[in-house]
């Protein structure tokens, strides 16, 4: 009997240590971690630069609240704004909270225009987190089951369809913002067409609405750019970050541009833990390490190596619907549900997960060697072949 609530079910593995892309369970068995704590451990486990920064800060000042100035928070905001081309940052503790901040900015933007009930356009297949507003913005009906009443004010349209967004503006008054993932993660590693974000940018401009990108999973270099929108000629009004930002130290950020960045004023939003010295020290170490090692380019290179590898090894395998990726977000979609693959992989010493029921999802760290990347390709391909009986 456990005193933990059952929302995660019974985990089949218990991990106790990690080093780079490798983790060890309580029986001493070693696994190659191709999931990286679900897109969090982008520098692998126990990265020395992050560990050192956290230890040093823990011995100096862990927390002081946002009643007082936090130099590392200012430095992190400077850094994120320089990298993103946006102007100001708000820090919180998770992806859901970063999206809550974005949703509140959209409400302020709408209310400023005199909208009685400002609306936000969101996508089918979207995942934005588990707090009530972020959950309401999320697409998956199963995640929302039993939690009514949800938060009002969201209009849902198909993903990767700019015309549907345009139509939603035509059909609805008082639309204040569009909230979208540049690549859908939980939705199944869905990579939209080139210029999708550019088209959304133009539609938002025509309607004085905010373009808000949920880069909680795609951000901090994972896709092969610091932020996925940097592959397109498009600057959003709001970007949300979390997952990889602290490499495991909980931190989220909502970054905004221009007038949008001025919407929060003293008293309008806040967080007790958000952006505390410990979390900011970790995030600064993450960003500096990525910069010093040019890991963003490496993420692109590794992503291409993985996808090319899978296309080769799975070329003659029937039952594969699609192999796709954007940097270190890789999805292999099967023609059938494949949840059992998680357990088969663990037996073989590999951590993966399944998104949208039928897509093997890999979110490995950017510190992989070529050999380790090839090992992931070989192991995953062998498992898929075994599973499909091919």
Kindly tell me which of 94 and 289 has the beta carbon lying closer to ligand PLP: 94
182 binds ligand PLP (CB under 6 A): no
Residue 91 contacts ligand PLP per CB under 6 A: no
Nearer to ligand PLP, 92 or 314 (CB): 92
Q: How many residues sit in the footprint of ligand PLP (CB under 6 A)?
A: 15
State the nearest-atom distance from the C-beta of 327 to ligand PLP, in Å.
Answer: 15
Among 77, 96, 281, 342, binds ligand PLP (CB under 6 A): 96
Residues 297 to 316 in contact with ligand PLP, rule: CB under 6 A: none
Alpha-helical segments (H) within the chain:
36-39, 48-58, 71-84, 95-112, 132-137, 141-144, 162-171, 196-206, 277-292, 295-313, 341-348, 370-388
Region from 213-221, 269-277, 305-313, 317-325 binding ligand PLP, contact rule CB under 6 A: 213-221
Q: Is 214 in the site for ligand PLP (CB under 6 A)?
A: yes
Work out which of 181, 232, 237, 333 binds ligand PLP, going by CB under 6 A. Answer: 181
Closest Cα to residue 359, out of 327, 335, 389?
335
| Paired tokens of 187 | 């939705």
Among 137, 168, 216, 235, binds ligand PLP (CB under 6 A): 216
CB of 376 to ligand PLP, least distance (A): 20
Residues making up the chain, counted from first to last: 390
Residue whose beta carbon is closest to ligand PLP: 95
Minimal distance in Å, beta carbon 127 to ligand PLP? 5
Binder among 182, 185, 188, 277 for ligand PLP (CB under 6 A): 185
The answer to the question of residue 359 lying near ligand PLP (CB under 6 A) is no
Q: 251 — phi, psi (to 5°)? A: -155, 140
Check residue 217 for interaction with ligand PLP (CB under 6 A): yes
- Pick the closest to residue 329 from 293, 365, 382, 379 (CA basis): 365
Q: Using the rule CB under 6 A, is 89 a contact of ligand PLP?
A: no
**188 or 309: whose CB is closer to ligand PLP?**
188
User: How big is the CA angle at 178 (ends 362 and 184), to the nearest 5 degrees?
Assistant: 10
Label residue 344 exposed, middle or buried (CB < 10 Å: 0-12, 13-18, 19+): middle
By CB under 6 A, the residues from 248 to 307 that bind ligand PLP are: none
Smallest separation, CB 130 to ligand PLP (Å): 6
**Phi and psi based region of residue 221 (left: phi greater than 0; alpha: psi -120 to 50; beta: remaining):** left
Q: How far apart are CA 204 and CA 177, in angstroms?
A: 7
Residue 129 as a binder of ligand PLP (CB under 6 A): the answer is yes
Helix, strand, or coil here: 206?
helix
3 state SS for 128-165: CCCCHHHHHHCCCHHHHCCCCCCCCCEEEECCCCHHHH
Residues that bind ligand PLP (CB under 6 A): 94-96, 99, 127-129, 181, 185-186, 214, 216-217, 242-243
């Amino acid at each position: 009997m456990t005193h933990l609530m059952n929302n995660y079910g019974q985990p089949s593995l218990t991990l106790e240590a990690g080093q780079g892309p490798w983790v060890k369970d309580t029986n001493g068995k070693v696994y190659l971690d191709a999931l990286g704590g679900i897109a969090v451990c982008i520098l692998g486990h126990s990265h020395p630069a992050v560990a050192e920064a956290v230890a040093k800060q823990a011995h100096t000042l862990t927390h002081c609240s946002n009643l007082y100035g936090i130099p590392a928070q200012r430095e992190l905001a400077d850094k994120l704004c320089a990298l993103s081309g946006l102007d100001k940052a708000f820090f919180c503790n998770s992806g859901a909270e970063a999206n809550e901040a974005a949703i509140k900015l959209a409400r302020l933007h709408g209310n400023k225009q005199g909208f009685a009930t400002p609306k936000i356009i969101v996508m089918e297949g979207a995942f934005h987190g588990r707090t009530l507003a972020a959950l309401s913005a999320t697409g998956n009906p199963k995640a929302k089951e039993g939690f009514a009443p949800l938060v009002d004010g969201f209009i849902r349209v198909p993903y990767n369809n700019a015309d549907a967004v345009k139509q939603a503006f035509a059909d609805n008054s008082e639309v204040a913002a569009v909230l979208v993932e540049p690549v859908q993660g939980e939705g199944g590693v869905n990579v939209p067409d080139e210029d999708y974000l550019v088209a959304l940018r133009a539609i938002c401009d025509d309607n004085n609405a905010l373009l808000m990108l949920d880069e909680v999973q795609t951000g901090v270099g994972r896709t092969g750019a610091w932020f996925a929108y940097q592959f397109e000629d498009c600057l959003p009004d709001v970007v949300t970050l979390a997952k990889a930002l602290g490499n495991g130290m909980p931190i989220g950020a909502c970054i905004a541009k221009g007038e949008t960045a001025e919407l929060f004023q003293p008293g309008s939003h806040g967080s007790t833990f958000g952006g505390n010295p410990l979390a900011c020290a970790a995030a600064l170490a993450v960003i500096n390490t990525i910069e010093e090692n040019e890991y963003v380019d490496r993420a692109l290179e590794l992503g291409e190596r993985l996808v090319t590898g899978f296309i080769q090894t799975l070329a003659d395998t029937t039952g594969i619907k699609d192999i796709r990726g954007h940097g270190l977000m890789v999805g292999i979609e099967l023609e059938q549900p494949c949840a059992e693959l998680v357990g088969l992989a663990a037996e073989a010493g590999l951590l993966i997960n399944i998104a949208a029921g039928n897509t093997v999802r890999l979110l490995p760290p950017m510190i992989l060697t070529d050999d380790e990347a090839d090992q992931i390709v070989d192991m995953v391909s062998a498992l898929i072949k075994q599973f499909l009986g091919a």
